[in-house]
Amino acid sequence: MNQRSSVSPSKLQAQPDSRTCSNKWRLAIALLALTLGVFGLALFGGGVWLIALGGSWYYGLTGAGCVLSAILIWRQRRSALYLFALIWVLTVIWALWEVGLNWWGLVPRLVAMTVILFLILIVSPALRRTTRTAA
């Protein structure tokens, strides 16, 4: 009888490889951070142009917030979730102020930001809380 290992093959198959799971989370976080960063840069660039023309500051400020959120996601910081949730709440307020309760006016202003918020919520279990050290 061959007794090389005390672990049965069925026990090996039942345990998921933790490295594979963490690599999938890292990939998802990296893709989300890069996508949000590009989205934020586009919003910021268009927003700066709009500000120069005398228009709304919303897009420039939101673009800067999205870029900052992307950096925090890249660093796997949970504060990215809180920052983007704040951006989302302010976006809802801005959209309601701009178009009121007009459903078709709200859709283009809220859908993209809501999808991004859900994506951040999906990866949020992999985001770390910052640890505070005693000084």
Q: Looking at the domain assignment, is residue 13 inside a domain?
A: no
The mean per-residue pLDDT over the stretch 90-103 comes to 94
User: By residue range, what is the domain housing residue 76?
Assistant: 23-126
What is the distance between the alpha carbons of residues 135 and 131, in angstroms, rounded to a whole number? 12
- The first and second tokens of residue 28, run together, are 């998802």
HEC letters along 81-103:
HHHHHHHHHHHHHHHHHHHCCCH
Q: Looking at the domain assignment, is residue 94 inside a domain?
A: yes
- Render 3-23 in DSSP notation, one character per residue: -S-SS-HHHHHHS--HHHHHH
pLDDT tens digits along 104-122: 999 999 999 999 999 999 9
* Confidence bin at 21 (pLDDT 50/70/90): low
Quote the number of domains for the chain: 1
- The first and second tokens of residue 127, run together, are 């985001």
Q: Looking at the domain assignment, is residue 77 inside a domain?
A: yes
pLDDT tens digits along 48-78: 999 999 999 999 999 999 999 999 999 999 9
What is the distance between the alpha carbons of residues 60 and 18, in angstroms, rounded to a whole number? 40
